[in-house]
Structure 1
Amino acid sequence: MSTLFRYLLWSGLVLVLLGIGALVGAYFYVAGSLPKLDSLSDYRPPVISRVLSDEGEVIAEFYRERRIVVPVARMPERLVRSFVAAEDSKFFEHQGIDLFSILRAALKNLKAGGVVQGGSTITQQIAKGLLLTPEKKFSRKFKEAILAWRMEKRLSKDELLYLYLNQIYLGHGAYGVQAAAENYYNKNVEELSLAECAMLAGLPQAPSRYSPYRNFARAKERQKYVLGRMVEDGYITEQEAAAAVAESLTIHPRTNAHSHEAAYFTEQVRRYLEEAYGEEMLYTGGLEISTTMNLAMQKAAHQAVQENLREHDRRYGYRGPERVLQESEVENFLNDQAPELDAHPPVAGSLLDAVLTGSTAQSLQVRFGNRQGEVPLKGIGWAGKVRVVAADQAPTGNAKSKESRLPLGSLLRVRVQKVAEDGRLTLTLDQEPEAQGALIALSPASGEVKAMVGGYDFYRSQFNRVTQARRLPGSAFKPIIYAAALDKGYTAATVILDTPLIYPQRGKGEWRPQNYDHKFKGPITFREALTHSNNIVTIKILEDIGVGYAIGYAKKLGIESPLNRDLTLALGSSAITPLELAGAYSVFANGGVRVTPFYVTRVADRDGRVLESINPGDFPGGTRSGQRLLSVSRERVISPETSFLITNLMESVIQSGTGQRAKELGRPAAGKTGTTNDLKDAWFAGYVPQLVAVSWTGYDQERPLGSKETGARAALPAWLSFMKAAVKAWPPSDFPVPDTIEFSAIDPRTGLLASETQSGAMVEAFAPGTAPTRYAVDEERPRAQDFFRIDMDEY
């Protein structure tokens, strides 16, 4: 053997030994700094918290990573095999590292002159995702390999798959296969077909590039690759693969279908949870929150408020296009718009920005994204006579001119009315209302908030007008004054003079309150005064019972906002929230018992442990540390007789007074309109035995709503639309009558008893011992109460 050969042999042996020594040394050097595997045995990644309606529907989710952890037992074998074939075909054979795959990837990367393929096993990917940082260094790959080998020694293959398939990112905010199944197919993992499994398994390499939303063709090619790998590995036959390729897949863009409609309610819940449990627990702890919200009612409330505001807005014409795009801007705008419309195709009710490109005698021609559409001129008469003009002409609305001029390139707000089976859209012209609205619905018996809409669009304004906006209630406050008067000896038959009032005010001239119609009716009954929302009589009643007493009464009903200590209180001059007014009306609807409104009924953690609940049965052994039983405050604050009488009076408001439009509900209902003197606030508050609802309309920056925009016109339509939908499943029912209520025939002219032969008599309800004892025929002239003028400065 030549000297040279021996030299080379010994040199090679030394190099090998040095290499082995270096590797061993590197192993011992790195091994001591590696993370422990103990955390993997108690895998508790961030998971979503879900908010549920009163019937268990998901209405909102809170999360940082949208992940729903599911056991491997729930995952179909075809799903597991799809990921193994695509990501690590030797997974069930190797011990954490696949040297052949690493060598193959290295050669491909060398040939390509860059990283085009990775050689990491599924176990290595778990190590990188859960225990290491994603930095691209050799030292990290070395640590990854060591950890993968250790993990294979400690965990079973099913345990490794559990970690991998729940941790992996699969695009569009979905972490893990369950979240991805919901994202793309609106299914649970066990419902996935082979074709759907293969498409999901193609995502880990590049979730954005292979997104079925953004590029279905690429996703389809990747699916074919996965199916081919499954055939090669013997998991499926070629026939099964061909059938999966041919299967028509429907991609369902994942949006929380109820997030927009329920946003104001769920934001109220979110604030409560963050305060109670902290931000970290809310967004990563997997809470399950049961609430009082009824989804069907919430949808009806959202629709009612939006449509009512659009109707109000249309009464004052079209304000013109949002802006006019230059010719050079049009294509850029449409190209930017297209990906979002492709990912989230428009549905009925969707609002779109569309570019005006032309017109015919029957319609406006528009483009949006990569689509074209038409806006028929029939049905947009509220915009006046619509004329399309050259791009260089100025746009106008029709509020004053009765004509709308729209230059080519105008950016129009359009609403999708219908989506045909072939995908064509029926559009109509729209615009964002400038006024705002609110609607709150409560169960008077339980205090549960069943629906809450705090404005036209939560994503345009997060200010919740139900709970945060204090506005003047106008005449909607009057029932509180009248209920207080009933407890001071007034009856529905009491006659009061509707005559002019003049109140001198030191250094401020005179206050001369007026009725809405600026007329005076002389002697009228207590019932008639409330029915027709008489201002003068209400002021006289308040003057008699005392402002301090009335304020105390309102506080007893749940009004917490500061109230003016003067006679303007009779006209609703003190700002309160819709929630406060709904709470006060709930006392009337609930037989005089005040129940504090609430939103959350139960909160459980990710392990199913109940943290709080209104149901004592959730704590069979009593509450322990970290648990609490929620108490709902119930207190009788007025008598059943008073609550019935004020309800009965407000039934007259609907039957023959300012709220007559509510008769369309077709069942017993009580309510009251509210309008401020300057028409800045419009209200309707009303109820049936099972449900109370309050509707408000106004501008955030206070200004008049417009001529004749009273509560009956600007707020009642939303209340009526909501109530029609909310109560349709309930049979009509009368308000319960306390056994102690007395009924007597009354002469409405005098408020005294009517004889059996008297014409025009009416039956009136009275609290025990308050019915008149004299007959009208015994009186020589009508009896009516009146009051002296007072100096307002005394209040």
Structure 2
Amino acid sequence: MASIHVCSSRDSAYRHSVSTTRRHHLTTEHANLPVEHANLPRHHARPRLKAVLGWLLVAILAIGIAGTAFVVLLFAHYSTQVPPVGSLFIQTPMASQVFDRNDNLLSSVYFAENRLPKQLSDISEITIKALIASEDERFFSHGAVDFRSIIGGLLIDPLLGRGIRGASTLTQQLARQAILHDTGVTVARKVKEIIVAYRLEKQYTKEEILNMYLNYVYFGNGLYGIEAAALGYFGVHALNLDAAQAAMIIGVLPAPSAYNPYVDLKQATQQQQLVLDKMVRNHYLTQKQADAAATEKLTLKNGMRSPYGSIGWFVDYVKSIVQAKYGADMLYQGGLRIYTTIDPKLQTAALSAVQKVWDQAKKDKVFVESDRDSLGVFQPQVGMVSVDPRTGYILAMVGGTNYDETNFNRVLAPRQPGSTFKIFDYTAAFDNGVTFPSEIVASQPTDFGGWSPPEWLGTNQWFGRISVANAIKESSNIIAAKTTLRTGLDRVIYYARKMGVTSPLKPYVSLSIGSFEISPLEMVEAYSTIANGGVRITPYPIRRIETQDGTMIEKHNFAETRVVPTSTAWLVQTMMRGVYANTPNAYISGLQAAGKTGSTNDWHDAWYDGFTPELCTVIHIGNDATRANMSAIRNAGSRFPAMTWKAYMQEAIKLQKQTSFGPKPDGVSVRIICDASGLLATDACPISLTHSSYFLSSHVPTQTCTVHPPILQTVRLAAEDPTKLAPADWPDSRVVVRTMLRDQIPTEVYQEPISPGPIPPGGELSVTAFPEQFKVGQQMTLSLDVAQQAGSAAVSFDVYIGGSLVTSASSLPATVAYVPTLAGPLEIAIVGRSATLDTVFQAASTVQVQP
């Protein structure tokens, strides 16, 4: 009855208001009507209005009752799907476990979270005030849900032009993130969030909720909780955060991935100002204090210590692969057991080698401690990766000098490879017979279509005439560019792709000396291919992944693909062994290895890519910023990268045995070469100027030395006339072999005379030509036949054109390709010979050659 009474009262008041308004309206209307209409009766309109208002009231009551019932049922339904009061606990995701190459546990790692929980008393008061002012101004005065903020955010603010404002309380945010783990925008999630928020406030005090919130939420840059954020952004503890620092950290919360200062300092500063303004509005700061905080110069400093130690870059790389394949939930909360390829001892050796070289460089004042970039990271930095070429296992990965200072993984960062790219130039050239190790090529000023590369020797200094093997050893840019052009730019790119390079490459001549950026991870795959005899195995950090119950969800297939012939790979290995032996900063006595140095303009990038049959290691050293100049310290590949490789390998050979490269394989030949000409040596070449050289058997040079012609030479003379040389294609039965003084060797080649004998009837020579008309300089295809041969004794047929033996055929018709060089009559003849080379018949014909 009470509810009816209330509704009735409201209805009466409403009717009074409507009646008054209506009377005023009608009075106005009547004032404008003619007199005859003004006196019409009006009482019949009121019952109709009362009926409409009555039905409207009933409809409103019905909708209200139904809506209330729906909300009650909705909350009742979802209240059974969330934990009850007393069982709401904040749980961090299940740790994943990382194992090394020998299945030994490296550590239990919470892949997603760098979290350092603190009590509320260990957090600065100004930080707590910044949080409340920014995220929930009435936190201590409202319940789990702030209805006033909801009305203000959804209704009042839009009317005032401020836009729609979120109205979730800190308790609701904690419920959503820490209990429900659901950020989806659905009715079900919002109802559950409200229910959990109410239950949290029943189970915990406001201070406890605030403490849990500050320890749980994500602050960007992989930092969870206020202590991790304080250390990760400013290198201080949460207790020591001042107003400026606290405002910037709290300002990250609305969008941690976009607002964190490491990603966008300008946006982070704008967020800091918004927080400071809210603190002034809530009387936590005076305007003067806020202005001082806004102008305070903040220095970003990562004070977080990595839980991964020296394997941080490797673990990050594994994380990126697992997340890309299986998603964030599986990675962060799946409790996976990840069996990797890392060798902890080699990883330690790699990082120790870096530190050893850096410490010495600092001691020598070559590297200066004050050389830091805008993020405070020491320069230069290093990217180093070590792989087993036989398996593709990544055994060590160092992405910088100090993971706690910089977790950026430079092993994955593309950089100009300089002369280390030449492995592709020469692999392609050798494999296609374009050049050979002993070939002599000139290093001299050369214009390659507007590009004139220098040699590293200095301005206007060149190597002169140099063998390809020595050009590789000395890292000649001119010889590499010439070789690449002879091989073909597209073909060199093709070999780079086959050997593991995926970065963009374009067919420019400068490609030959490493002008296009390639990551150390790609380069280690390419060099491992040569180390493994031409078989490519793409490096990968994971052997298998299992779920918590032992179910295997991945077993990586380290597939082998032959991309370079064994013989070619062995020849390239041999060339690179010469480079290694010629690099004192890399050479280790007793260790058979191969390698290549690389440097770029202004010494910005320096590389050493070295390998044994068991271990291939690529090292890049340079500044992170491309604008930085390293010329002051002459950052050559033969310097710091080679030193680092040597320091690493000196420890690596203690940890695992390194064997020698295999013997010369099939497909590789050895010849004695004259150093002066690079061609096959003769007896006239001084022994002191000769050496053994390897060649691919399919591309062995045939030309003898042109610098030292032999005094005595063995020659083949025509048996019919020993004063003349025998034609090259004559069989030994028609040749006299003699050793003669060089100046007595005849120069004329014997031409067998053609004396046409009587041609049997029908024995004319038939000549069919294509094209039909003979022209000077035009290649002709001739089909030659004799209608009737004199008997059947002829077993071979010599073809003469213009009086010279062109070819011998075993049967007729014979097909011959020929290019006329003179206009006029041209005689074509066929001589049939018996098994004893006696002339059986002769047939001739004359054609006319047009100019």
For 2:613, the equivalent position in structure 1 comes to 689
Aligned residue for 2:469, secondary structure, equals helix
Aligned pairs for 1:203-352 (under 5 A) are 259-316=308-365
Q: Report the residue type matching 1:651 in the other structure.
A: R
Q: Is the 8 A contact 2:530 2:569 kept in 1?
A: yes
Relative to structure 1, the CA distance from residue 587 to residue 746 in structure 2 (aligned partners, 3 Å threshold; closer, same or farther) is same
Relative to structure 1, the CA distance from residue 569 to residue 66 in structure 2 (aligned partners, 3 Å threshold; closer, same or farther) is closer
Aligned residue for 2:595, secondary structure, equals strand
The reply on whether 1:513 has 2:560 as its aligned counterpart is no
The reply on whether 1:471 has 2:425 as its aligned counterpart is no
For 1:425, the equivalent position in structure 2 comes to none
Instruction: Report which of the two structures shows the higher radius of gyration computed on alpha carbons.
Output: 2
Q: Return the alpha-carbon distance in structure 2 between the equivalents of residues 520 and 65 of structure 1.
A: 56
For 2:475, the equivalent position in structure 1 comes to 533
The reply on whether 1:579 has 2:521 as its aligned counterpart is yes
Superimposed CA distance per residue, residues 522-573 of structure 1 (whole angstroms, 9 cap, x where no aligned partner): 3211100000111111121122112222122211211111223221112211
> 1:683, CA displacement in angstroms?
0.5
Relative to structure 1, the CA distance from residue 538 to residue 63 in structure 2 (aligned partners, 3 Å threshold; closer, same or farther) is closer
Q: Return the alpha-carbon distance in structure 1 between the equivalents of residues 697 and 200 of structure 2.
A: 89
Between 1 and 2, higher relative CO (CA 8 Å, sep ≥ 6) is seen in 1
For 2:771, the equivalent position in structure 1 comes to none
Q: Return the alpha-carbon distance in structure 2 between the equivalents of residues 138 and 650 of structure 1.
A: 71
Aligned pairs for 1:138-537 (under 5 A) are 259-316=308-365, 433-467=378-412, 469-489=413-433, 490-503=435-448, 505=450, 511=452, 513-517=454-458, 518-537=460-479
Q: Is the 8 A contact 1:684 1:716 kept in 2?
A: yes
Superimposed CA distance per residue, residues 473-529 of structure 1 (whole angstroms, 9 cap, x where no aligned partner): 111111211111102212111111222213453xxxx63533434422332111000
> 1:613, CA displacement in angstroms?
1.4
Q: Is the 8 A contact 1:313 1:435 kept in 2?
A: no
For 2:572, the equivalent position in structure 1 comes to 646
Aligned pairs for 1:714-753 (under 5 A) are 714-737=640-663, 738-753=665-680
Relative to structure 1, the CA distance from residue 699 to residue 301 in structure 2 (aligned partners, 3 Å threshold; closer, same or farther) is same
For 1:415, the equivalent position in structure 2 comes to none
Relative to structure 1, the CA distance from residue 650 to residue 66 in structure 2 (aligned partners, 3 Å threshold; closer, same or farther) is closer
Q: Return the alpha-carbon distance in structure 2 between the equivalents of residues 271 and 138 of structure 1.
A: 38
Relative to structure 1, the CA distance from residue 440 to residue 778 in structure 2 (aligned partners, 3 Å threshold; closer, same or farther) is same
Aligned residue for 2:432, secondary structure, equals coil
Q: Return the alpha-carbon distance in structure 2 between the equivalents of residues 650 and 33 of structure 1.
A: 71
For 2:778, the equivalent position in structure 1 comes to none
Q: Report the residue type matching 1:713 in the other structure.
A: R
Relative to structure 1, the CA distance from residue 634 to residue 139 in structure 2 (aligned partners, 3 Å threshold; closer, same or farther) is closer
For 1:754, the equivalent position in structure 2 comes to 681
Superimposed CA distance per residue, residues 26-57 of structure 1 (whole angstroms, 9 cap, x where no aligned partner): xxxx9x988899999xxx99421111111223
Query: Aligned residue pairs: how many?
Result: 453
Relative to structure 1, the CA distance from residue 597 to residue 634 in structure 2 (aligned partners, 3 Å threshold; closer, same or farther) is same
Q: Return the alpha-carbon distance in structure 2 between the equivalents of residues 603 and 37 of structure 1.
A: 32
Aligned residue for 2:342, secondary structure, equals coil
Relative to structure 1, the CA distance from residue 745 to residue 661 in structure 2 (aligned partners, 3 Å threshold; closer, same or farther) is farther
Gap regions ≥5 residues in structure 2: 1-75, 116-178, 180-194, 205-211, 217-238, 240-303, 711-851
Q: Report the residue type matching 1:290 in the other structure.
A: Y
Q: Report the residue type matching 2:431 in the other structure.
A: D
> 1:726, CA displacement in angstroms?
2.1
Q: Is the 8 A contact 1:445 1:590 kept in 2?
A: yes
Q: Return the alpha-carbon distance in structure 2 between the equivalents of residues 37 and 465 of structure 1.
A: 46
Superimposed CA distance per residue, residues 658-679 of structure 1 (whole angstroms, 9 cap, x where no aligned partner): x232222631101000011321
Alignment partner for residue 603 of structure 2, among 661, 667, 679?
A: 679
> 1:318, CA displacement in angstroms?
8.0
Q: Return the alpha-carbon distance in structure 2 between the equivalents of residues 683 and 322 of structure 1.
A: 21
Q: Report the residue type matching 2:351 in the other structure.
A: H
Q: Is the 8 A contact 2:667 2:698 kept in 1?
A: no
Q: Is the 8 A contact 1:436 1:699 kept in 2?
A: yes
> 1:432, CA displacement in angstroms?
6.8
Q: Return the alpha-carbon distance in structure 1 between the equivalents of residues 306 and 555 of structure 2.
A: 27
Gap regions ≥5 residues in structure 1: 1-29, 68-127, 142-168, 174-207, 209-254, 324-430, 615-630, 782-795
Superimposed CA distance per residue, residues 299-320 of structure 1 (whole angstroms, 9 cap, x where no aligned partner): 1122222333344445446868
Relative to structure 1, the CA distance from residue 456 to residue 780 in structure 2 (aligned partners, 3 Å threshold; closer, same or farther) is same
Q: Return the alpha-carbon distance in structure 2 between the equivalents of residues 526 and 138 of structure 1.
A: 80
Alignment partner for residue 106 of structure 2, among 55, 58, 70?
A: 58
Q: Is the 8 A contact 1:495 1:525 kept in 2?
A: yes
Q: Is the 8 A contact 2:467 2:678 kept in 1?
A: yes
Superimposed CA distance per residue, residues 133-160 of structure 1 (whole angstroms, 9 cap, x where no aligned partner): 899999769xxxxxxxxxxxxxxxxxxx
Q: Return the alpha-carbon distance in structure 1 between the equivalents of residues 98 and 553 of structure 2.
A: 15
Q: Return the alpha-carbon distance in structure 2 between the equivalents of residues 519 and 36 of structure 1.
A: 79
Alignment partner for residue 552 of structure 2, among 573, 593, 610?
A: 610
Q: Is the 8 A contact 2:354 2:401 kept in 1?
A: yes
Q: Is the 8 A contact 1:309 1:436 kept in 2?
A: no
Aligned residue for 2:357, secondary structure, equals helix
Q: Report the residue type matching 1:661 in the other structure.
A: N
Relative to structure 1, the CA distance from residue 516 to residue 504 in structure 2 (aligned partners, 3 Å threshold; closer, same or farther) is same
Aligned residue for 1:718, secondary structure, equals helix
> 1:718, CA displacement in angstroms?
1.3
Q: Return the alpha-carbon distance in structure 1 between the equivalents of residues 357 and 443 of structure 2.
A: 34
Relative to structure 1, the CA distance from residue 564 to residue 720 in structure 2 (aligned partners, 3 Å threshold; closer, same or farther) is same
Q: Report the residue type matching 1:62 in the other structure.
A: Y
Q: Return the alpha-carbon distance in structure 2 between the equivalents of residues 488 and 53 of structure 1.
A: 42
Q: Return the alpha-carbon distance in structure 1 between the equivalents of residues 606 and 622 of structure 2.
A: 7
Relative to structure 1, the CA distance from residue 605 to residue 771 in structure 2 (aligned partners, 3 Å threshold; closer, same or farther) is same
> 1:760, CA displacement in angstroms?
3.5
For 1:776, the equivalent position in structure 2 comes to 705
The reply on whether 1:48 has 2:95 as its aligned counterpart is yes
For 1:632, the equivalent position in structure 2 comes to 558
Aligned residue for 1:736, secondary structure, equals coil
The reply on whether 1:549 has 2:499 as its aligned counterpart is no
Q: Report the residue type matching 2:382 in the other structure.
A: G
Q: Return the alpha-carbon distance in structure 1 between the equivalents of residues 681 and 472 of structure 2.
A: 22
Q: Identity, % of aligned pairs?
A: 30
Superimposed CA distance per residue, residues 229-268 of structure 1 (whole angstroms, 9 cap, x where no aligned partner): xxxxxxxxxxxxxxxxxxxxxxxxxx99971211111001
Alignment partner for residue 560 of structure 1, among 502, 507, 529?
A: 502
TM-score, normalised relative to structure 1: 0.51
Q: Report the residue type matching 1:568 in the other structure.
A: S
Q: Report the residue type matching 1:687 in the other structure.
A: F
For 1:704, the equivalent position in structure 2 comes to 629
Q: Report the residue type matching 1:53 in the other structure.
A: D
> 1:776, CA displacement in angstroms?
3.0
Where do 4+ consecutive residues of structure 1 move more than 6 Å? 32-40, 64-67, 132-139, 255-258, 320-323
Q: Is the 8 A contact 1:52 1:60 kept in 2?
A: no
Q: Is the 8 A contact 1:665 1:720 kept in 2?
A: no
Superimposed CA distance per residue, residues 612-636 of structure 1 (whole angstroms, 9 cap, x where no aligned partner): 113xxxxxxxxxxxxxxxx334221
Aligned residue for 1:638, secondary structure, equals coil
> 1:66, CA displacement in angstroms?
11
Q: Report the residue type matching 1:578 in the other structure.
A: P
For 2:592, the equivalent position in structure 1 comes to 668
Q: Return the alpha-carbon distance in structure 2 between the equivalents of residues 723 and 666 of structure 1.
A: 12
Relative to structure 1, the CA distance from residue 552 to residue 321 in structure 2 (aligned partners, 3 Å threshold; closer, same or farther) is closer
Q: Return the alpha-carbon distance in structure 1 between the equivalents of residues 324 and 586 of structure 2.
A: 40
